[in-house]
A and B are shown apart, each in its own frame.
Chain A
Amino acid sequence: MNWLYDSVEPRVMDEDMLKLAVGEQGPRDEAGQLARQEGIVFKDVLSLRLDFQNILRIDSLWQFENLRKLQLDNNIIEKIEGLERLVHLVWLDLSFNNIEAIEGLDTLVNLEDLSLFNNRISKIDSLDALVKLQVLSLGNNEISHMMNIIYLRRFKDLRTLSLSGNPIAEEEDYKMFICAYLPDLVYLDFRRIDDHMKELAEIKHQYGIDELKQRENLSQAQLDDERAQREELEEHKAAFVERLNGSFLFDSMYAEDVEGNKLAHLPGVSELLQAYKDKFVIICLNIFEYGLKQQEMRKVELDTFNECVQEAIQENREQGKRRIAKFEEAHLLSLNAIRDESEVTNLEMKVAEHSKDITELFDMLMTLEMQLVEQLEETINTFERNIMDLVALFIENVQSLMAQCRDLENHHHEKLLEISINTLEKILKGELDENLPYDVRAVSTLFVDKDTIVNAVGTSHDLHLLKIDNREDELVTRTNSWCSHLVDAIHKDEIMRNRRRVKEIHQYVDHVQNELDNLECSEIID
């Protein structure tokens, strides 16, 4: 291949080259004649062969959107690129090129067969997206590290692998290692792996595999956990009450609250804080549960609505279909009759009659559609009202619960203020100096005068209220926007549906009318 590179000038992959290839590989004989007559659109091409073309750079392939099989072997390609748009690709051959690294394959999720034989690859990676990979050919490359094999464990469908001609194939343990670590593999280096070999390999590498498996299982379990958590959070988010099933809100109130944290060290405050937290969390939990319940109710409401709408549409559709089927029969008969009719007066009469039938059908279909539109409109309005009510109720109740939170906060604030002022007084009197614990002394900067302490307590209080308000606002806005989005979507869907149906009816009636007209025309011409 190197001599190729030296002697022949590299070619550019341009439109002409592609056209030529497509033309050559396109349909033959009569079909080919037709194809040439019409020209082939790249989009329709399913398979393309571009071998021995001295291509240096993959280019201009973006039009082949539906390509299933692409052969680019025996070129001088150095880098895998320009294949991003070929998402339907199943079969990709890049053997006998000068590729040094695997890359640019991240969008080819349907790829099942990949050949990179005789290249300069030294490391197997960047194949993560190829979940359907079954055949992988990496022979005659420069892979030298055994650990590359372990990377291949993630391809559950991989059955055929070739790695001969790599430095690792020279290793003594090569076959055993691969058999042990890729137990689902059936063919290695163009040979079937026999069961005996597999057993031996398994015994030999049992320790390593077990350890690896253990690690894999652990990470898998971790991933599963994370996913489950994410899903749960999503669910809660859909109910607009995420992170309210614990002390998250309360903790966030104190997270940025420097003064509050300082004040917590005052005698008696920690107990107070604990009680406050408990009550607060209980309210949060109430909101959370209420939210989930409401979410459930909304879901049921929506499901029922969808079901009813679907039923109505379905029934309407059946009716329409019946009408059309009936009409079609009559249509066929009368067309035949018209064709057979020879007398002009009769012919005209029949044509007129049939035109009337067509108009009638059109009217009928349109009436049906209008009827459905009216029915659906009413239902949608009712649903809209109901869902709005539900949301309003939900918001109202949440707000009242939030108000309870605020009350708690106010109450806590008063208590705290009281304690602080008492403490301040004591400090000013110098009574408590000795007894005061060390950490309070650390905050003694606050206890300078009354204003400072009141300010400090006030800031903390304001911060808390702000947090609560923010959470409430978030909940309310998100709920409302969800609601309006939902309603909008429903309206839009309905309008789209109506448009589509009307268009369909028009199209059909036009078609039928055309058929009649064509018949007439030909009659007249005859």
Chain B
Amino acid sequence: MALQNGSLLSSDRKCVRSPRMKNHKLIVSQSLIRSYRASIQDELQKHAYNFVLCDPGLPDHPIVYASDGFLEMTGYSRDEVLGRNCRFLQGRDTDKRAIVEIREAIREERDCQIKILNYTKAGKPFWNLFHLAPVFSQQDGRVVHFVGVQLPISSKLAARKDGHLTGLELSFDELEFEEHFDNPSCKNYHLSEEDKQRAFAAVKAVLQELANSSCKGVSSMRSKSFSEGVIPPGFVATSLLLALTRIPHSFVLTDPHLPDMPIVHASLEFLELTGYTREEVIGRNCRFLQGPDTDLAPIEELRSSISEGQTCTVRILNYRKNKEPFWNSLHISPVRNSSGKVVSLFLTHSLKCSPFQVAYYAGIQVAVSHSSEEDEGRARMQQLGTLGAIKVAVRSIQTGAVLRKSKTIS
């Protein structure tokens, strides 16, 4: 399933959760709540399919929902899989090409249906017809989740002439696992149209359920205008998101081409530092972090640097959601657009304007004590290192997904 790292854990069957997901139960439930009604878990329970939902906006693209069928098929408990990346299903003999195909589909934000060798918790291999589908937000076109449906294939089934029963409806015990994964009858098992249709039907049913339960509107396809090149403001491609979520520090990306330069991405660490949820910050200008005792001088310095397209570092008093103040060593910097072309005029409320290939303005936060030399050095390294990682991420090439076209501000 979803992966950012192609390495395989060769023999260990233990699940691994990203160390950044310490609060995973909360984070996972928030992932569902932000897009769907509270009843979504109950609605999804009604379906007998084996499937998971994953969130590409969280570190390591983790599972945020797993059906009972999925847990039964794989032998894990719900708590063992939530918050973890699906790569635990792979093993040493899983074909890398299959993994690559899934990875490409994720990057390109499209469906994919593929036969892949997976492993249960006990280490038994089984062939799996896996179908991946993105769930798009109707508001900003982003992929909010990926749905993954699994249909185990068994050679016993391959031998069946009638082919009516498939893994979707058989219970876990009835499926016979091959002694040797490369049982020829299974490798050459040509997926019947019926199998494919069943997988499609399962995906469709799940997507329908999500769309019905959605508070802000999700769908299995992007809006027509999106495909024609009209990109909604605040759109962030999955390929960029996957790279950004690898960065384990507090930062935000803001879009200087949109009015009032709103946040379009905030890292998990930023949310933890400030106490806000994703919903509460995306689309807003960072000034909500300022408060009654914030000095005007750093604010002015920031404003002036942004209007010139410059980097700067300030020490500013910010406030968490619970009103608790903290000193923030904030470093801001423009991040250039990897397409290399001048995409917009960078015009702000000042009279100056300059052609500048800015994709985003990054803001990197380090919580510091009021005045400490040691903090300065550590903060600086954190800031520049995070900025470098952001630049690497922004240079990820977006294929398939329509490239963001910035509008000229006149």
Tell me, yes or no, whether A binds B.
Answer: no
Which of B's residues lie within 8 Å of A, judged by CB? none
Which of A's residues lie within 8 Å of B, judged by CB? none
